[in-house]
């Protein structure tokens, strides 16, 4: 039953309907990358951001896995080197009161990933970020939200004025059918809105034309490596 409830996100669906009829920019991320290894973490820090909030499944690891895949480990380590204890996992399963009331899964994740898992009562994209503000003593616009879902991760971060970074999902394996269906709808909507010129909401620390500074130029890097 818990698994079923985990897959039904009524607040999310309701917010998405509101977005369909109105503020579509909430679903558009400031930065889109294939995965977290494309993010230049020192540049994110240098831009003034103080806290990184990560979704877990299909962002940091495959769904229900308990380890960052080897290809993403250097990037995750680089993020930890920059942000230290100011990294938190915000999952719609582990740490969610309804699904993980005793925090058993959250504790297991903390042991596996070495970063804190937020205990919270609302599923993304609903809910506030007061706990995050209190804990890290900074404003939401100084936070970065990294996730693979437009409907949950991007909308949550944008609702609060955070910088939103969207990664492509690591895999389509192991995802519940409701999530697969939601993804198809989200992707189609976001493609259409982007094509019509709609952009992510204005971010207080980072104007739109500077977002690309936070993305690694991998081709250049590879070329330099070859030349050395």
Q: Following DSSP, what letter does each residue of 72-88 receive, concatenated?
A: GHHHHHHHHHHHTT-EE
By CB under 5 A, is residue 62 in contact with Mg ion? no
By CB under 5 A, is residue 86 in contact with Mg ion? no
The residue within the footprint of Mg ion, chosen from 100, 142, 148, 186 (CB under 5 A), is 148
Minimum distance from CB of 194 to Mg ion (Å)?
A: 20
The residue written with tokens 């558009």 in the block is 28
The residue written with tokens 């380590």 in the block is 77
Q: Following DSSP, what letter does each residue of 120-173 receive, concatenated?
A: BSS-TTSS--HHHHHHHTS-GGGEEEEES-IIIIIHHHHHTT-EEEEE--S-ST
By CB under 5 A, is residue 175 in contact with Mg ion? no
Minimum distance from CB of 57 to Mg ion (Å)?
A: 4
Question: Would strands 143-147 and 116-117 be described as parallel, antiparallel, or unpaired?
Answer: unpaired
The residue written with tokens 């209190």 in the block is 134
* Other Cβ atoms within 10 Å of 141 Cβ, number: 16
Closest to Mg ion by CB, 47 or 117: 117
By CB under 5 A, is residue 55 in contact with Mg ion? yes
Closest to Mg ion by CB, 6 or 58: 58
The residue within the footprint of Mg ion, chosen from 57, 62, 142, 175 (CB under 5 A), is 57
The residue within the footprint of Mg ion, chosen from 58, 86, 158, 203 (CB under 5 A), is 58
**CB-CB contact of 177 with 8 (8 Å):** no
Closest to Mg ion by CB, 29 or 45: 29
Instruction: Report the C-alpha gap between 179 and 59 in whole angstroms.
Output: 14
Token representation of residue 98: 């309804």
Number of residues in contact with Mg ion under rule CB under 5 A:
4
Closest to Mg ion by CB, 57 or 186: 57
Closest to Mg ion by CB, 35 or 55: 55
Rg (CA), the chain: 17
Q: Kindly report the CA angle at 199 between 193 and 203, in degrees rounded to 5? A: 150
Minimum distance from CB of 82 to Mg ion (Å)?
A: 22
Q: Which stretch binds Mg ion (CB under 5 A): 48-56, 95-103, 170-178, 187-195?
A: 48-56
Closest to Mg ion by CB, 47 or 152: 152
Q: Which stretch binds Mg ion (CB under 5 A): 8-16, 23-31, 100-108, 141-149?
A: 141-149
What residue ranges bind Mg ion (CB under 5 A)?
A: 55, 57-58, 148
């Amino acid at each position: 039953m818990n698994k079923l409830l985990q897959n039904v996100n009524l607040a999310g669906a309701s917010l998405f309907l509101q977005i369909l009829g109105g503020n579509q920019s909430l679903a558009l991320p400031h930065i889109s990358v294939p995965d977290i290894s494309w993010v230049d973490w020192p540049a994110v820090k240098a831009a003034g951001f103080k806290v990184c909030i990560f979704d877990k499944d299909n962002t940091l690891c495959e769904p229900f896995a308990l380890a960052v895949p080897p290809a993403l480990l250097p990037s995750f380590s680089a993020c930890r080197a920059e942000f230290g204890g100011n990294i938190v996992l915000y999952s719609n399963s582990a740490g969610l009161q309804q699904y993980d009331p005793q925090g058993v899964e959250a504790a297991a994740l903390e042991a596996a990933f070495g970063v804190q898992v937020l205990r919270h009562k609302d599923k993304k994209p609903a809910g506030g970020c007061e706990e995050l503000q209190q804990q890290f003593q900074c404003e939401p616009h100084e936070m970065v939200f990294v996730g693979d879902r437009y409907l949950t991760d991007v909308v949550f971060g944008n609702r609060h004025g955070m910088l939103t970074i969207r990664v492509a999902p690591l895999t389509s394996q192991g995802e519940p059918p409701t999530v697969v269906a939601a993804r198809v709808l989200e992707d189609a909507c976001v493609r259409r809105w982007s094509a019509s010129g709609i952009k992510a909401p204005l971010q207080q620390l980072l104007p739109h034309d500077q977002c690309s500074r936070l993305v690694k130029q991998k081709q250049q890097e590879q070329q330099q490596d070859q030349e050395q």
